[in-house]
Structure 1
Amino acid sequence: MKFENIIMTIFDYRNYGNRLQNYAMNAILEKYGNCTTINMSLHNTHFWDSHVEVVKERIKHMYSVLFRNDHALEFRRAEKGKLMTKRQIPSNSFFATEYAGFTGRRGCSYNRVVIGSDQVWNYLWLSETELKLRLGSFVSNNHPIISYAASFGVSEVEDRKARAIFQQYLPRLKAISVREDRGAELVREMTGLDATVVLDPTLMLTADKWLEITKGFVSDGDRYVLTYFLGRPSDEQERDIQAYAKAHGCRVRRILDLRDRDTYVAGPQDFVELFSKARYVFTDSYHACCFSILFHKQFTVFNRAGMTGKSNMNSRMETLFRLFDLDSVMMDSGLAPEIDYRKVDRLLEQHRRESQDWLDRAMEE
């Protein structure tokens, strides 16, 4: 089969933002022809190891059906991410592993590679070989490569070997766009090239488009404040959450928090639905902010403790808030000022047009 475009991104069934941005990236590329995502989830590459992994997955599935402990809940959540990927994101034609490199099923070919989005270039998580793959090292000169909303996930590239890899492979890209202001600065510092800051793919789809994939995970009439933290809220922040919920007659639903076991098993589609029906959102997550914006939710972002220096992930937040003039939502504690969604919507439409215009130009042959 001939694909017009193949997507190179992180492939993680357990990560909400990753699965949803991959779905969105696939959706926005459909206007340029059929596309598929390179499956990079196969860490075991030897024949015997692959069969062992299949057996392990079957055992985990039986375990999750029979039990409700933490491990079983985690597997059920991952299974939902895997099922969503199977149904919504074509990804069974091309594969990439550190051991075997880039491979494709017999008869499959492609015209163009699109790298992104998410922290696809976070070298702290990758071997040198994997970083090269994420930069399109497998692509011949006959196939154009672009990046859309790619992220380094760090504020500095301090490792000399990683810098050398970026300096070698970034100039091979036909067009470079990134998700954060700091990402554009890193591209310029390492290569002298210009990179354009564009919207995360999740923000390129309308709220109505997102609601099409929801499955009725949230019951009618459920009044709740929603939390989604990748760090751990302080005691003061937790008191703020509880105080808001009590004052507004809501319970607290907690994504990715084992204190709320019913919500813990939410898959990517359930994640979208939880945001669409929340009365208020407290978070420290970038994609939680994106979906709060899409569904016009009032929200507060609590600063994440202990995230400084090269591990600081707030650069993506800072860019998002600059684009939508929302600096006031980030707090150490308390409640953010009310968001004017008429203004936010105007900015969203403007940035969508600019991002789409960039993509249209980049995708020209």
Structure 2
Amino acid sequence: MKIGIITLLSNNYGNRLQNYAVQELLKNIGDSTVYTVPFEKNKPSKNNTTNIKKNIPYYIKAFNSRMKNIYSFNYEKHNLIYNAFYYLLCNKKIKSLIKERNEKFKKFDECYINYENRTLTLGNNDWVEDYDYFVCGSDQIWNPYYPTCNKLAFLQFVDEKKRISLSASFGVNEIPSSKIEAYKNWLNAFSDISVREKEGADIVKNLTGKDVTLLLDPTMLVDISTWEKMMKKPENYPNEKYALCYFLGSLTKDYKHFIDKMSKKYNLKIISVLDIEDDTYFSCDPAELVYLISHAEHVFTDSFHGSVFSILFKRNFTVFDRVEEGKSMNSRITTLLQTFKIEHKMFKNDDDISNEQLDYRYIENVLKENRNKYKKFINSALER
């Protein structure tokens, strides 16, 4: 059986790890050959770019956003002046680290991800008839604000019987009115849909009337041995106990105070990923990140997948709210914590929650139930 995966492709830890997880899940179906298939993105709309008011506040915001999202300046105290001076003084170092990181991601892909050497386009794709099935997911493959949101992400290039959605995510609570009709048509053309969040299930129900299967992220559907086999010890691995900081958003003063206090209390070295100012592990690849999480004494994170792997490897961890543009980005983390009844792991104040025990018997039962639910879903989809 030949199966294609349609997912987001970027040098993002969660993205690459879920891609690997989907691949490994599908490989276990009979004698399947699985390929991740690159696909064409939407071209930027000229109207969207020309209508933006480009004044001085716009350029300041754009620069600071670039420093945060691309160069990983994530401590809240940084302002325009600090960012500008750091960029000017350390530009060569920044570019070198980013290049090294991109090269390590490329090597990870070469080692772990099986790619189709052809790219899906919005035009003719006759070669896809060689595939028995296509699976879209997981990640935010159906996010209406991403340039990847087109008919290819909804598998409209193959017959309906070949389309399967696996833990697909919209990344939003509602679809913009301008795209509702397209989404209705695309979703109605599926026989088998599973999504990752309750909000996603609600969107499908509201647009199509269909009840869909709610599954965990694929990183939790594979057996833990999958991660134990692929994870890799970094060459510069610390020789002392450590706490790992893995932040996608801003590290606020309150967060940093709490992390410093807890690390000092338990005598833990603080190491960071995705922090270019603490660059020892900035260039680690996804396999090395899994190793760092699995061996940490404590994980401090605002990342969904940082939380996922902390749960899987039974690490002490604290989750922090991630706010962008004044909006919380933690809906999927909240759902994750509620699923395992561990909402108390979310940071609320300065109290020490490091040693609060989790009910791992319950967690293992939830994982087992969801893995069985996945098998039932995929077997039903393939037998159709």
TM range (shorter): 0.7 to 0.9
Partner residue of 2:278? Answer: 260
1: distance between equivalents of 2:379 and 2:310? 27
CA distance 1:20–1:140, shift in 2 (3 Å): same
Partner residue of 2:157? Answer: 138
Partner residue of 1:178? Answer: 195
Partner residue of 2:310? Answer: 292
Which amino acid in 1 is paired with 2:9? F
Alignment size in residue pairs? 331
1:316 equivalent to 2:332? Answer yes
Partner residue of 2:74? Answer: none
Partner residue of 1:201? Answer: 218
**Alpha-carbon distance, 1:96 to partner:** 2.5
Partner residue of 1:5? Answer: 3
CA distance 1:79–1:276, shift in 2 (3 Å): same
**Alpha-carbon distance, 1:291 to partner:** 0.5
Partner residue of 1:330? Answer: 346
Which amino acid in 2 is paired with 1:321? L
Which amino acid in 2 is paired with 1:289? S
Quick check: 1:101–1:133 contact (8 Å CA) kept in 2? no
2: distance between equivalents of 1:266 and 1:343? 33
**Alpha-carbon distance, 1:346 to partner:** 2.3
Quick check: 1:281–1:299 contact (8 Å CA) kept in 2? yes
**Alpha-carbon distance, 1:215 to partner:** 2.6
Quick check: 2:41–2:150 contact (8 Å CA) kept in 1? no
2: distance between equivalents of 1:213 and 1:329? 27
1:192 equivalent to 2:217? Answer no
**Alpha-carbon distance, 1:244 to partner:** 1.1
**Alpha-carbon distance, 1:265 to partner:** 0.4
Instruction: Give 1:77-116 correspondences, 5 Å limit.
Output: 77-97=101-121, 102=125, 104=127, 109-116=130-137
Residue number among 270, 273, 283 corresponding to 2:291 in the alignment: 273
Partner residue of 1:55? Answer: none
1:20 equivalent to 2:17? Answer yes
Task: Tell me the TM-score normalised to structure 2 length.
Answer: 0.80
Partner residue of 2:97? Answer: 73
CA deviations on 1:259-308 (whole Å, 9 max, x unpaired) are 22111001111111111111101111111111001110111111123466
CA distance 1:103–1:276, shift in 2 (3 Å): farther
**Alpha-carbon distance, 1:258 to partner:** 1.0
Quick check: 1:154–1:313 contact (8 Å CA) kept in 2? no
Partner residue of 2:170? Answer: 152
Quick check: 1:228–1:284 contact (8 Å CA) kept in 2? yes
Q: CA RMSD in A?
A: 2.3
Which amino acid in 2 is paired with 1:38? V
1: distance between equivalents of 2:252 and 2:121? 39
Once the two structures are aligned, what percentage of the paired residues are identical? 32
Instruction: Give 1:232-247 correspondences, 5 Å limit.
Output: 232-247=250-265
SS of 2:145's partner is helix
**Alpha-carbon distance, 1:354 to partner:** 1.9
**Alpha-carbon distance, 1:68 to partner:** 6.5
Quick check: 1:95–1:104 contact (8 Å CA) kept in 2? no
CA distance 1:289–1:262, shift in 2 (3 Å): same
SS of 2:281's partner is helix
Which amino acid in 1 is paired with 2:115? S
Quick check: 1:227–1:254 contact (8 Å CA) kept in 2? yes
1:357 equivalent to 2:376? Answer yes
CA distance 1:136–1:308, shift in 2 (3 Å): farther
**Alpha-carbon distance, 1:104 to partner:** 4.7
CA distance 1:186–1:68, shift in 2 (3 Å): same
**Alpha-carbon distance, 1:139 to partner:** 1.4
2: distance between equivalents of 1:156 and 1:93? 35
Structure 2, unaligned stretches of length 5 or more? Answer: 44-90
Quick check: 1:227–1:283 contact (8 Å CA) kept in 2? yes
Which amino acid in 1 is paired with 2:346? M
Task: Tell me the TM-score normalised to structure 1 length.
Answer: 0.84
**Alpha-carbon distance, 1:205 to partner:** 2.1
CA deviations on 1:8-38 (whole Å, 9 max, x unpaired) are 11011x1000000000000000122111111
